[in-house]
Amino acid sequence: MENIIFSYSRKQAIEDGVLVDLNAVAPEECELYKYPVACTAAVWDIIDKAVKNPRWSNDIKGVMWDIMYMSTAMSKVVDESTKLFQVIIKGAGRKSTYTFKMVCGPGDDAKPVITIMLPNED
């Protein structure tokens, strides 16, 4: 048996702000999936900027609905656990079309969890 040098749980990542628990932020919008959903801090930054931009009148539920819906409706399957999808989000920055990656894999208790991230994140 190999010795584990270091482990970092999903729970720790959420506590540290590396991941954001989207079920806690927008539970109704996350009901599109039967597994817990989180996003990386980089994705949360895009969502947060869009919501805080007064010019576009975005709210968290609307932005989250767009992300969750587009992940089901307009995604490209990369492999059995990974999808890429695009979402138009106004007010988060200079661009308005963002590409996200959704990965379904084992969580801390080995049950499936979903993580939404930028394409270059693991």
What letter would DSSP give residue 115?
Answer: E
pLDDT at 5: 82
Instruction: pLDDT band for 2, please (50, 70, 90 cuts).
Output: confident
Residue 96 has pLDDT above 90, yes or no: yes
For the chain, domain boundaries: 10-98
Which of 26-29's residues contact partners 24+ apart within 8 Å by CB, and which partners? Answer: 26/60, 26/61, 26/64, 26/65, 28/61, 29/61, 29/64, 29/65, 29/67, 29/68
Residue 73 has pLDDT above 90, yes or no: yes
Contact 26, 60 (CB under 8 A): yes
Residue 95 has pLDDT above 90, yes or no: yes
CA distance 106 to 113: 6
pLDDT at 34: 96
Cβ atoms within 10 Å of 110's Cβ, excluding its own: 8
Q: Encode pLDDT of 27-66 as tens digits.
A: 999 999 999 999 999 999 999 999 999 999 999 999 999 9
The answer to whether the Cα torsion of 36, 66, 101, 20 is positive or negative is negative
Q: What is the pTM of this model?
A: 0.94
